[in-house]
Amino acid sequence: MEPYAFYKGDFMPLSEAKMGILTQSLHYGTATFGGIRGNWDSEQERFCLFRLQDHYNRLLYACHILRIDLPYSHQDMCQLTIELVKKSGYRQNVYARPLAYKSSEAIGVKIHGLENDFLIIVTTLPPYLDTSQGVRCCVSSWRRIDDSMIPTKCKITGTYVNSALAKTEAIENGFDEAILLTQDGHVSEGSGENIFIVINGTLITPPASDNILMGFTRDAVMKLAKNELGIDTVERSVGRSELYQAQECFLTGTATNIAQVVEIDRRPVGNGKTGKITAKLQEIFPDIALGKNPKYSDWYTMVYPTQ
């Protein structure tokens, strides 16, 4: 089976989608990407694209900042993604990766007056973090970039050097994931996930002002905690030592879903097992992700494969 891409205005086999080595965004990180989950429902024989509209709102917000003008509307981008997933031929969870980028081949660091383009690829989605034993985290020696350096509320490719440095350091030091602090020492987020902790029954997550990416899984978890479990989430700055005080901790993200953290800096979180609130959220989330709860129909785009 040959995967497809949408590239240079057309659908084509992924192997034919090649880019020039002078492409400006390759040199300077002047691009923005999305990561959209398509959950395969084997009973209904369909994909549920989770929060497709929101992902393109975020991508277009980054395009606005990076001055990437494209001939595609929000609706066009959603429709192209649906078409590509339909064509892809996969019958398992997929991950759609749109990229809006400076396609100009002119050398020079700037964002104005350059050509732009838009592409999408679809690939399969193996579990991003292994949750079978729980996730072991460290606090990174790298600090999370500040919104005054590169906008943190959208997925600008250059920003991910920060995440990649932290992730590799964590893995090479024997951990599964890194937790990054802000410059002033507050907990920000994982290298590719938002973070929640539970202290004495209160569910807490860092606020937008602590340079987090405003994750859609984070948003879904806060709504589910409230509507389904009757638990409010407190958005407030979190100190590093509160990570060691927490009875529960979990990470959220499109690729990750909800991953329980069982150890931080070699200290067990709570009793070192999945906490109660975390377990309840993990229990209800799969049906939500498959689009089975009509209460959250705004989050779902159903796609029936044509291949």
Q: Cβ closer to ligand PMP: 216 or 299?
A: 216
Distance CA 245, CA 51 (A): 33
Residue from 217, 260, 278, 301 binding ligand PMP (CB under 6 A): 217
**Closest to 48 measured CA to CA, from 305, 303, 254, 293:** 303
- Residue whose Cβ sits closest to ligand PMP: 215
Task: Please compute Rg for the chain using Cα positions.
Answer: 20
Helix or strand (DSSP H, E) at 203 = strand 202-205
- Could you tell me the smallest distance in angstroms from the CB atom of residue 157 to ligand PMP? 11
By annotation, the residues acting in catalysis are 155
Q: Which stretch binds ligand PMP (CB under 6 A): 61-69, 118-126, 211-219, 234-242?
A: 211-219
Q: Are 137 and 170 spatial neighbours (Cβ–Cβ below 8 Å)?
A: yes
Size of the site for ligand PMP (CB under 6 A): 14
Q: Cβ closer to ligand PMP: 254 or 278?
A: 254
Q: Is 192 in the site for ligand PMP (CB under 6 A)?
A: yes
Q: Is 189 in the site for ligand PMP (CB under 6 A)?
A: yes
* Residues composing the chain: 307
- Give CA separation, 44 vs 17, 40, 292, in Å: 32, 9, 10
Question: Which DSSP state fits 251?
Answer: E
Residue from 3, 38, 206, 215 binding ligand PMP (CB under 6 A): 215
Q: Cβ closer to ligand PMP: 87 or 236?
A: 236
Q: Is 254 in the site for ligand PMP (CB under 6 A)?
A: yes
Q: Is 218 in the site for ligand PMP (CB under 6 A)?
A: yes
Q: Is 213 in the site for ligand PMP (CB under 6 A)?
A: yes
**Closest to 99 measured CA to CA, from 63, 123, 145:** 63
Q: Are 94 and 120 spatial neighbours (Cβ–Cβ below 8 Å)?
A: no
Q: Are 182 and 143 spatial neighbours (Cβ–Cβ below 8 Å)?
A: yes
Q: Is 305 in the site for ligand PMP (CB under 6 A)?
A: no
- Give residues in contact with ligand PMP (CB under 6 A): 35, 163, 189, 192-194, 213, 215-218, 252-254
